[in-house]
């Protein structure tokens, strides 16, 4: 499964979730793209919605921040902080291509999904709020592109239903993201062990995290426990107003810290099979033990246990083969403290 030219699971795929942290400015959107690319993120993700498509008027908010306006509803907040016009997207997509970072956006309507697909977006992020909007999942799945599915505030059965819906629409390119839908998420509610649960339940799909905790540490721990895709809210300036998202997002310095630490974790994790590593081969020769003569052995003597001891280096007969050596006759005189070789003894 690929997004653009990157294979999911080969390396941890890091998505900088910029959302609408551009505050309606194309220049700030470009700044976000540039700094995310410089930090080493694989993708930057926006959000494509209108308040009228997203929420019924009068719906209360489920988040709080110091810039909240009294009695403001979800509709009011989304109406005030709308996304960029579609006309701006080709310019942003081209800028992403120039900087080698993937452009993504979460559609919150059928129309948005179609327009993003027509623009050539290479994968779709589905927000937790739409995980059970099965007609929408089916519609997006039929584009035949990878789907990154957030699972916040959902039961396991609902996740299975969503995955089945996408698969039945003929699309098996699904990344499932563990998510807690609180902004921010307390460390005590992160429940990173769910990543392993999802890996067991959906072994044929990559598992990642949409992380809403504060700071860097929980995110990189998620990578260490098996997340192969990481999505983290990101802003160029935590002090910006207008959005409840800036203060709980990571900034470019923290994003780079996440990317660098995740790459170090990948290096530390290595592969999952046990063998002698190439770097150990020379060490192995001189660290392991061989069978060594405990005293002088005369030509024609049959080897007994009393004749043998075990010392470094590991360049002779391995101690595990001692039974194969017992009873063989020496072909020549062997001095005490000799590292024994098979050519010193008769074949059985």
Residue 45: CATH number of its domain:
3.20.20.70
- Domain check: are 150 and 223 in the same one? yes
CA distance 266 to 223: 8
The answer to whether residues 260 and 336 belong to one domain is: no
**317 and 284 in one domain?**
yes
Residues 41 and 132 in one domain: yes
Note the pLDDT of residue 177: 98
Task: With cut-offs at 50, 70 and 90, classify the pLDDT of residue 147.
Answer: very high
Q: Output the pLDDT for position 69.
A: 64
Would you list the DSSP string of 206-228? -EEEEE-BSSSHHHHHHHHTT-S
pLDDT band at 271, cuts 50/70/90? Answer: confident
Q: What is the mean pLDDT of residues 210-228?
A: 97
Average pLDDT over residues 25-29: 95
pLDDT tens digit string along 105-141?
Answer: 999 999 999 999 999 999 999 999 999 999 999 999 9
Is the pLDDT at 231 greater than 90? The verdict is yes
Give the count of domains, the chain: 2
pLDDT at 68: 65
Domain C-terminal end among 220, 237, 269: 269
Query: On the CB side of 103, how many CA atoms lie within 13 Å of its CA?
Result: 22
Structure tokens at 222: 């998620």
Asked, for residue 89, whether it belongs to a domain, the answer is yes
Task: Give residue 24's region: left, alpha or beta (phi > 0; psi -120 to 50).
Answer: left
Determine if residue 320 is left, alpha or beta; phi over 0 gives left, psi from -120 to 50 gives alpha, anything else beta.
alpha
With a cut of 80, say whether residue 244 has pLDDT above it: no
Rounded to 5°, the CA angle 34-40-44 comes to 55
- Domain end call among 204, 234, 269: 269
Question: Which is higher by pLDDT, 259 or 52?
Answer: 259
Task: Verify that 257 and 115 share a domain, yes or no.
Answer: yes
| Burial letters 198-212, b for 16+ CB under 10 A, else e | bbeebeebbbbbbbb
Last residue of some domain: 248, 269, 290? Answer: 269
Average pLDDT over residues 326-336: 98
pTM for this prediction? 0.89
Identify the burial level of 287 via C-beta atoms within 10 angstroms of its C-beta, where 0-12 means exposed, 13-18 middle and 19 or more buried: exposed
67 is a domain residue: yes
Mean pLDDT value across residues 215-231 = 97
Question: Domain for residue 3, yes or no?
Answer: no
Give me the CATH number covering residue 284: 3.90.1210.10
Tens of pLDDT, residue by residue over 72-100, are 888 888 787 778 899 999 999 999 999 99
Mean pLDDT of 213-222: 97
Alpha-carbon span 218 to 154, nearest angstrom? 21
Contact (Cβ atoms closer than 8 angstroms) between residue 138 and residue 169: yes
Are 229 and 12 contacting, i.e. CB atoms less than 8 angstroms apart?
yes
For the chain, the 3-state helix, strand and coil shares in percent, each to the nearest 5, are 40, 20, 40
Distance in angstroms (rounded) separating the CA atoms of residues 141 and 139: 6
Residue 324 has pLDDT above 90, yes or no: yes
- Kindly state the average pLDDT of the residues 276-293: 95
Residues 264, 267, 269, 271, Cα dihedral to 10° = 160
Q: Are residues 295 and 188 in the same domain?
A: no
What's the mean pLDDT when you consider all of the chain?
95
DSSP string, 11-64: B-EEEEEEETTTTT-HHHHHHHHHHHHHHT-SEEEEEE--HHHH--TTPPPS--
As a whole number of angstroms, the distance between CA 223 and CA 225 comes to 5
Q: How confident is the model at residue 163, as a pLDDT?
A: 98
How many C-beta neighbours within 10 Å does residue 280 have? 11
The token pair that represents 261 in the structure block: 């630490």
Q: Would you state the pLDDT for residue 71? A: 64
pLDDT value at residue 159: 98
Q: Is 1 part of a structural domain of the chain?
A: no
Considering the domain boundaries, does residue 264 fall inside one?
Answer: yes
Share above pLDDT 70 across residues of the chain, in percent, rounded to a whole number: 97
Q: Which residue range is the domain that position 297 belongs to?
A: 278-344
Same domain? For 289 and 212 the reply is no
Asked if residue 87 and residue 23 are part of one domain, the reply reads yes
């Amino acid at each position: 499964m690929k997004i653009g030219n990157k294979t999911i699971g080969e390396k941890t795929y890091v998505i900088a979730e910029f959302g609408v942290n551009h505050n309606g400015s194309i220049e700030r959107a470009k700044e976000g793209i540039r700094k995310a690319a410089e930090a080493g993120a694989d993708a930057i993700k926006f959000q494509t919605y209108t308040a009228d498509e997203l929420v019924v008027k009068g719906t209360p908010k489920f988040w709080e921040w110091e810039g909240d306006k009294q009695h403001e509803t979800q509709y009011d907040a989304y109406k005030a902080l709308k996304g960029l016009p579609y006309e701006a997207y080709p310019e942003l997509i081209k800028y992403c291509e120039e900087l080698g970072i993937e452009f993504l956006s979460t559609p919150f309507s059928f129309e948005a999904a179609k327009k993003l697909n027509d623009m050539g977006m290479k994968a779709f992020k589905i927000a937790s709020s739409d995980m059970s909007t099965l007609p929408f999942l089916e519609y997006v799945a039929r584009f035949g592109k990878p789907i990154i599915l957030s699972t916040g505030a959902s039961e396991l059965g609902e996740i299975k239903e969503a995955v089945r819906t996408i698969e039945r629409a003929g699309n098996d390119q699904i990344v499932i993201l563990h998510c807690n839908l609180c902004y921010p998420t307390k460390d005590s509610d992160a429940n990173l062990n769910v990543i392993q649960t999802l890996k067991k339940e959906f072994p044929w799909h990559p598992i990642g995290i949409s992380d809403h905790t504060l700071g860097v540490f929980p995110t990189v721990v998620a990578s260490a426990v098996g997340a192969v895709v990481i999505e983290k809210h990101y802003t160029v300036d935590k002090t910006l107003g207008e959005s409840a998202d800036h203060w709980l997002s990571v900034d470019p310095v923290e994003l780079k810290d996440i990317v660098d630490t995740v790459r170090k974790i990948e290096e530390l994790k290595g592969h999952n099979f046990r063998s002698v590593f190439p770097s150990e081969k020379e060490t192995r020769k001189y660290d392991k033990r061989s069978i060594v003569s405990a005293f002088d052995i005369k030509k024609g003597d049959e080897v007994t246990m009393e004749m043998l001891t075990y010392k470094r280096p590991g360049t002779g007969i391995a101690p595990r083969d001692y039974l194969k050596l017992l009873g063989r006759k020496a072909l020549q005189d062997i001095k005490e403290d000799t590292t024994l070789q098979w050519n010193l003894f008769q074949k059985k």
